Amino acid sequence: MSASSPSVSRSGLPGEIRTTVVLAAPLVAGHVSTGLIGFVDNTLAGHHGTTTLASVTIGTALWWLPMMVPIGTLLSVPPSVSQLEGAGRRGEIGALFRQAMWLAALLSVFLFAFLTAIPYALGAMGIAPEIIPGAQAFLHGIRWGVPALTLFFCMRYLSEGLHWTLPTMLLSAGGLLVLLPLGYVLTFGKFGLPELGAGGLGIASAAMLWTQAIGFFLVLRRARRFADLGLFARFDRPHWPTIRGLLATGLPIGVTVLMEGSLFIVTALLIGRLGEVQASAHQIAINLSALCFMVPMALAEATTVRVGHALGRGDVGGVRRAIWAGYAIVIGTQLMSGIVLLSANDVLVSFYTRDAAVAALAASLLFYAAMFQFPDGIQVLSAGALRGLKDTRMPMILAALAYWGVGMPVGAGLGLGLGWGPKGMWIGLIAGLTVAAVLLGLRLLRSSAPDALTRRIAAEHPHELDPHETGCT
């Protein structure tokens, strides 16, 4: 057992809560830093012009849409490595990681191809003509960071699965130190460089992603706590059974993440058809909501690791403590987020824009953002705990039902069909998240029942990666 990996909480639920908070705190800081990247993009774009902000809104939506699949798929790495360590099979982690890197590289090829083609379809999507050139330039620039993005997340998930979350915090925050000055220079055309607007932000974002990926590689290569794993000690060819095993767990996660994320993205695209004021106001409100979401998302990732580690060592009580600790924390964090969004909406919006019409609409949308904080926290925490159990296929189906069977029809019907505009679309978001919270919560209660956990532990086979079979010894 690695000294760096907490195993058993020695004081029941309060001890598990403390362990989860310690594990999640750097992740929260890292995710908030990631959210601030969106804040920097939108602030620079908003001060450059309303059209630029609207272009970045659409470009960001189309960037996140395909990116969710590889990021979600690679979420198979944390529970896989945490279960290996919990089961005392730490020596197999290095070989698993090298296969995960191959998977990350393959996923980046598909993502790059999508981002190369999709800008030419903006007109057919009905995006307002004045927004299209900037959105195309943003996507053409940021796509060059795709390989760095997938490799970064692969390395990050390995580190988090082994209870070391500090690099995520430091490198995510460090990305801001690259994006802010470079984005400013390229967007506004300083120091004799051309004024690139939204395209400049795309190029700056790609540069930031490569900086983060290289940084994480150096951290893992030099980290003493991982020296025994031999992460980069040898070159392994792709071992397709292992990669298929990661895909079997990860692809349903990727689709689940896509189901939720695409609800928000398609909502943004539909609002983009209403005009640049509506698109800009929505982008401000959704960016603030995304900043709030970083906290429960980090807690969900920490819960995945804690659940996976307890499952790997066959500790039924530990699995249940990890789940209830996550719920206890996320209820408190979401209550605070809702209060902030309700009480400080005008102040928060003022950081983004000086356009009175955009600011007024964005401030009104934050009321709806506050309303979905609680169901959003519950659904993401439930999904994270289910990932720790490697229960991913049924949650994928439940997510599709909630987000696309309920959320999108309600939002489109109210927002476009009845003419309620952005507010109707946001009511659809609330409906989808609420149904997801109920369905995923019920699924988790069933999967984490003591008898269900006992059967799951008994059925576990040490076949995630057999070094003798793969030749990765």
Task: Report the alpha-carbon distance of residue 370 to residue 155 in Å, rounded.
Answer: 33
Task: Report the alpha-carbon distance of residue 392 to residue 396 in Å, rounded.
Answer: 6
**φ, ψ for residue 269 (rounded to 5)?**
-65, -40
Task: Report the alpha-carbon distance of residue 133 to residue 468 in Å, rounded.
Answer: 54
Per-residue pLDDT at 246 exceeds 80: yes
For CA atoms 241, 245, 251, 257, give the dihedral sign.
negative
What is the average pLDDT value for the chain, to the nearest integer?
Answer: 85
Per-residue pLDDT at 443 exceeds 90: yes
Per-residue pLDDT at 325 exceeds 80: yes
One DSSP character per residue, 135-166 reads HHHHHHHHGGGHHHHHHHHHHHHHHHHTT--H
Q: Report residue 358's pLDDT band, with 50, 70 and 90 as the boundaries.
A: confident
In this predicted structure, what is the pLDDT of residue 4?
43
Per-residue pLDDT at 156 exceeds 50: yes
In this predicted structure, what is the pLDDT of residue 172?
85
Q: Report residue 2's pLDDT band, with 50, 70 and 90 as the boundaries.
A: very low
In this predicted structure, what is the pLDDT of residue 215?
95
Amino acid letter for position 29: A
Report the pLDDT averaged over residues 354-372: 87
Per-residue pLDDT at 213 exceeds 90: yes
In this predicted structure, what is the pLDDT of residue 10?
52
Q: Model's pTM, two decimal places?
A: 0.76
Q: How do the domains of the chain map onto residue ranges?
A: 12-463
Per-residue pLDDT at 6 exceeds 60: no
Task: Report the alpha-carbon distance of residue 80 to residue 242 in Å, rounded.
Answer: 11
For CA atoms 262, 264, 266, 269, give the dihedral sign.
negative
Per-residue pLDDT at 115 exceeds 80: yes
Report the pLDDT averaged over residues 330-343: 92
3-state SS assignment for residue 204: helix
Evaluate whether 295 touches 28 at the Cβ level (below 8 Å).
yes
In this predicted structure, what is the pLDDT of residue 467?
41
Q: Report residue 11's pLDDT band, with 50, 70 and 90 as the boundaries.
A: low
In this predicted structure, what is the pLDDT of residue 468?
38
In this predicted structure, what is the pLDDT of residue 334?
93
Task: Report the alpha-carbon distance of residue 411 to residue 138 in Å, rounded.
Answer: 27
- Proportion of the chain above pLDDT 90, given as a percent: 32
Report the pLDDT averaged over residues 448-453: 85
One DSSP character per residue, 19-87 reads HHHHHHHHHHHHHHHHHHHHHHHHHHHHHH-HHHHHHHHHHHHHHHHHHHHHHHHGGGHHHHHHHHHHT
